[in-house]
Structures are given as structure tokens and as C-alpha cells.
Structure 1
């Protein structure tokens, strides 16, 4: 019955989520974010009046997801300029807010460079701030366009790999409109397949310990009328064994020059399972996520988060802020290993899909060639 209900919604498109927006009330410019720590129970906006507030929002995961972090970082620089703060200092605070997501630094450096160039050409404070805001808005627009092209290329790749059929797709973490200027990365591919009537089922990993799959991807799937089922991360193996997964689609927070992919922890085990069961494992990410200056997976800095996210159950607001105040699920003082990401080597990846096309097989040379075609310019 769920599949029939989902098919009836193929032509329906819900209103776009307002995930991040610039606003200019009488009190001065602000950056307004959809607070993702409050989802799915509440859709509440968080207003950032300065860069320290935005840094807190980034670190507590109120705003998250590699592409959106780049956009937020860009607007953060524009906010500092518009409010008359030290732009270079603000850029440094933003860039250090989370170490693994390469898009954050990219967005910050790009807008800071535009502001710096305007100042160097003699622009006053107000004019230079306007240049920074225009650069942030351009970054936002480009990411939205990239999202649409990734969805097209991803759907075409699925058709090439498995022609003339519908798909059961497995995804991990959250890769939809909540992480993007558009409809997302990996989730955007699933959404496009759904709209074409060829998505039989979206399997959603809950994504422990912060449950981005359960709280956010399931929220987006339900909102868009997809036929989906939620599973615990450790149930994925049984799905593969039963032949219930046709392809795995994930996003990325950083892609090294050799094609190694850092993504939400739990992605690497899925790649191993997919390889063993001969299931395509596909990474969908914009070229801004590719870091050609990071040689390989061992060079990627993996963020380590508070162990209390593992040892306690609490409200999502508390968990995102580092835990505390919840019910203990481990002995008091139990040490915990809590990396935010893991790294999947290129030999386990079927393809990397970007707005410039797909790389398959995944090699450093192929990735470099694809990035060379991109309109994105590396900002150092």
C-alpha cells in the first residue's frame, strides 16, 4: 500500500524548504537558519547576528552538510563585513569551525577574497560589504544549479548500470535540501528517480549516534512522498544479503585527490558490503567537495566529537551541543570512540557523480580531469 500511495504523489512537489536566508531587519543584517537540531518535531528558525553565533550553529549542527556549510561560511563573511567586524578574523573563526568539510573553507575563502579585492580597489566599507554579499549569493545560486545537474547525472548513471528498471536505493546520513542550496546531492538523485516513477524503495540508515537519517532524511522523504523505510545501521547487511539493495547513494564531506571519500561515519562499512554483494556504491557531491590539495584518504583530518553523544540519550538539541543532561546508556565515565566521519578508498567506489559528470572508475587522474572542467576556481 505504501508503494501505491507514493506513486500517487509523483507529480506533487512540496514548497521548498527555507534552510538558509539572508535578511535585513531594521536592527541590521542577519543570517537566518532552519535549526536542524529541532527537526523533525519543530521547524524553528535560528537568527545569527554575528559570526560567533554562526560558528556555534555550525559546531552544534544546527546548520550542517558540506555544500550548505560552504554557503553558510560565505554568508558569514558577508555578515561580518556588513556588521563592520574584522573580516579576516571572522573568516578564520568560520574556517576552523569544523575541520573535515572542505566546502566550509572554500565558501569562506571565496567570499573573503571578493571582499579583499574590493577593498584593494578602493571600495568603502559599505561597497565592499555589498561585494561580499553578492559573492555569497552567487555561491548559493551555483550550488542550487549544481544540485540539479548532479541529480540528472546520477539518474543517468543508474540507468546505465541497471537499464529499464526501478530501484531500491540505500542512503546514509542526510543529503537533501537540508544540506544544499538546491535539492541536495545523493538525495536529489533519489528524488529525481522517484519523480520519474522508478523508485521502488528508499532505505534510510538511521545514522547513529545523532540520527541524521532518522530525523532528517526520513523527514525529507516523507515530505516529498517517497516510499521509504528506516533501518538501524547494523541492519544494512541483512538487506544486502536478501538482495534488497540495487545501489548505495551517499554524499561526501571531503574527496581527496586520489578519490578517497570522507563521509558520515558508517559509510565505509556500506562500501565494503556493497563490494562483497556486487552492488554499485555511488558518491554524489559537487566539485567544491573535491580537495586536490589533500593527497589521499590518510591525509584527511577526521573530526572527533564528544563521547557523550554515544554514552547518553538526550534531546537532540542537547546531543548536538555535545551531549549532557540525558539518560546514560553506558556506565558512568565509560570512554567512547566517536569519529564524525570515516574514509572510503577509491577501489570501493563505483562512481563519483558531480555537476560536471561522473568519474568511473574512480582515479586521481579522472577526478583531476573532471575538476578541470568545472567553473569553480580554487581559492587559496
Structure 2
């Protein structure tokens, strides 16, 4: 598996795989300040909720180093935190990681620790977030593989694999675990317009890792369900509300509706850090809208009239009633979601 990022402790540099250039070019971006990480998140050079969270944690370390000598160290770090979380409003892992590291800095400051000692502890925490993400993904993979049938034929949307995390993946981690157990017959990957994360990233990493994968365009999903024996859908998530409503890459809602119509179980795979326990439903999830040229152009070639109006939400929200189960590192949650997500929140308090 290609690594999404690497923290170089010796020179305090975060290397981020530039996912906008895959699959043609495998190139890493050296980030030596927090703003370069923010730009990488905005440009989708790093993407996927867990990967964004880990990148944000390292960005906080870089930012803390930049303001270490500021008269008001905590105030300067708080401005960095606030700026960083504006990079992408929908993916909750971004704010979760930035807020977590800032809260740690505040607590350590109360103990009269000098800024450079605080920065050292922030670095340890960022590394821990990175390492734990991989371990959590592998746990999730085992729980998810258990709910898939033998000879699983699975459809997935966007990219929720190793490239969207620190390694192994969420939705694709489930498929990797199923493949290791001999349960996976085929994966159908939606191309995921307009930025082709399914074609460029999911098809790329599954093909490179030797998993059976067939690429389809987004508008083939329903017909593929009807004609190709699909018996499960597994996708990732960018934010999950307290009632189970789930935001994921645009097009996911349509896939869920098609799965419901065909009697196919639709699963979300996401770590607890992707849950936003503070919001009651998906109606409260902010939906990022992106540039019109992403719709009017295919890669760099214009394919629509220059002046035509566009609507380009990056995400949609799938209602909880369409979801058969949410696969987490603590197990698989099923309805009733409000009660069971409250239990998950209590169960995970010590870790988060």
C-alpha cells in the first residue's frame, strides 16, 4: 500500500502524497508549515476524513513551532487552530484533531510547561493519532468482513481506502479483510464524478494490491446492482450525526436509494472520530460547495458552456433509515441508531 503521509521527525516535515496526481504520478509534498498543510487539504492533495484528521494534527505541531516564541503562545496557536478547521467544513475529523491538540496545549500550559515542551507533547500526540488510525482501521476491517456474505460482490463509492486514511482504510479496509479471508469475489467501484476519486484512487489502490475490482461510471450503479449480483454496498463517511444520518462524497445518497430498491444492505465504515455527537441529525451537517469548473471541465478540458450555472456540492447526506449498519472499530452499530450511538459515545469516551 502507498503511504498517504510520513512525518519526518528529524527535520519536522510532513510529507503528503499528492493525490491529485494519481494514478499517473506518485509524488510527495514537503510541508514545513501549517499553511501548506491547510492548502493541501483544500486542494484535495490529501483527502479522506481520517487522513485529513491526521494531517491536521501534524499541522498543529508545525503551527505551534511557528509561534513558539510569540508573547501569547496559546492565543497564536488558537488562531492557527481556527484557521486550519476552515479548510474543509464537512469532514469532522479535521476539527476533531485540531481541537484535540489545542486542548492538550491548554492543559499543559496550566501546568506551567514551556512552549517547546508543549510542542514535544503535541508531536507525540499527532504520531499517536496516526498510529492509532491504522490499528482502528484493521479492527474495523475485521468487524466489517464478518457482516459480508461469502462470495461478496460489493459496490463502493469514492475512496475510503488506505489513501483516505493513515493506512488499510475504512470501507476498503473492510474489503481488504474480506479478501484476506477469501470472502471477496468482486468490488465494483463507482468512478465518482466530478473529481474521479473512485477511478483515480479506489481502482488504483485495489488493482495495485491485487484485489478484484471493476470500474464503472456513477450512472451505472443501479443497473450493476440489478445485473451483476451485488450483495452489499460499503462506503466511508465524512461526518455522522447522533441519529446515524451520514455525510459522504456526493453520489452516496443515490447509491443508498438504489441499494434500498434492490434489497441490498448498505453499510457505512467509519471510526468513532468521524461521529459528531453534538448534532442531532444530518440537517445540521454543513455541506461544502466547490468550484464550478470541477463540473464544467473534465480534468483540464472544458466540457460545458463557460457561462452555464452549476451546482457542485462535495457531499450529500444519507438518512439513517437507508443504512443497514455502521461499521466502527468498536463493532457494527445497527438501528435504533440514536440509542446505540449514545452507547458508542459512552464506550469510546476513554479513548477520545
TM range, normalised to the smaller chain?
over 0.9
- The match for 1:79 among 62, 83, 86 is 62
| CA distance 1:298–1:241, shift in 2 (3 Å) | same
Deviation string, structure 1 residues 322-358 (Cα, Å, up to 9, x no partner): xxxx321111211111100000001100000100111
Instruction: Please tell me whether the aligned partners of residues 4 and 17 of structure 2 are also in contact (alpha carbons under 8 angstroms).
Output: yes
Distance 1:334 1:261 in 2: 31
Partner of 1:317: none
Q: CA contact under 8 A between 1:171 and 1:248: conserved in structure 2?
A: yes
1:251 maps to which of 215, 236, 247: 236
Are the aligned partners of 1:31 and 1:75 in contact in 2 as well (CA < 8 Å)? yes
What is the CA distance between 1:211 and its match in structure 2?
0.1
Number of residue equivalences = 345
Give the distance between the partners of 1:332 and 1:156, measured in 2 at CA. 49
* Residue of structure 2 aligned with 1:119, choices 90, 109, 112: 109
Per-residue deviation at 1:190? Answer: 0.6
1:6 is matched with none
Q: Is 1:333 matched with 2:318?
A: no
Query: Equivalent residue for 2:122?
Result: 132
The match for 1:374 among 327, 345, 348 is 348
Quick one: distance in 2 between partners of 1:270 and 1:98?
Answer: 23
Aligned to 2:25: 42
- 2-side partners of 1:255 and 1:289: how far apart? 6
Equivalence for 2:72: none
TM-score normalised according to structure 1 size:
0.88
Q: Which runs of 5+ in 1 are unaligned?
A: 1-15, 315-325
Q: Which residue of 2 aligns with 1:153?
A: 143
Within a 5 Å distance, the mapping from 1:287-326 to structure 2 comes to: 287-314=272-299, 326=300
The alignment's TM-score, normalised by the length of structure 2, stands at: 0.95
Offset at residue 18 of structure 1 (A)? 2.2
User: Any conservation in 2 of the 1:23–1:31 contact (CA below 8 Å)?
Assistant: yes
User: Quick check: 1:185 aligned with 2:170?
Assistant: yes
Task: Provide the secondary structure at the position in 1 that maps to 2:348.
Answer: coil
Structure 2: stretches of 5+ with no match in the other structure: 69-75
SS across alignment from 1:291: coil
Alignment-derived partner of residue 109 in structure 1: 99
**In structure 2, how many angstroms separate the alpha carbons of the residues matched to 1:153 and 1:375?**
20
Query: Residue 277 in 1 paired to residue 262 in 2?
Result: yes
Partner of 2:78: 88
Deviates more, 1:104-113 or 1:239-248: 239-248
* C-alpha contact (below 8 Å) 1:55/1:94 kept by paired residues: yes
Shift of 1:167: 0.8
1:181 positional shift: 2.0
1:54 offset after TM fit, Å? 0.9
8 Å Cα contact 1:34/1:62 also seen in 2: yes
Q: Does 1:357 align with 2:340?
A: no
**Alignment partners' CA distance in 1, 2:191 and 2:350:** 33
1:167-246 aligned within 5 A: 167-246=152-231
| Secondary structure of the structure 2 residue equivalent to 1:174 | coil
Aligned-residue CA RMSD (Å): 1.3
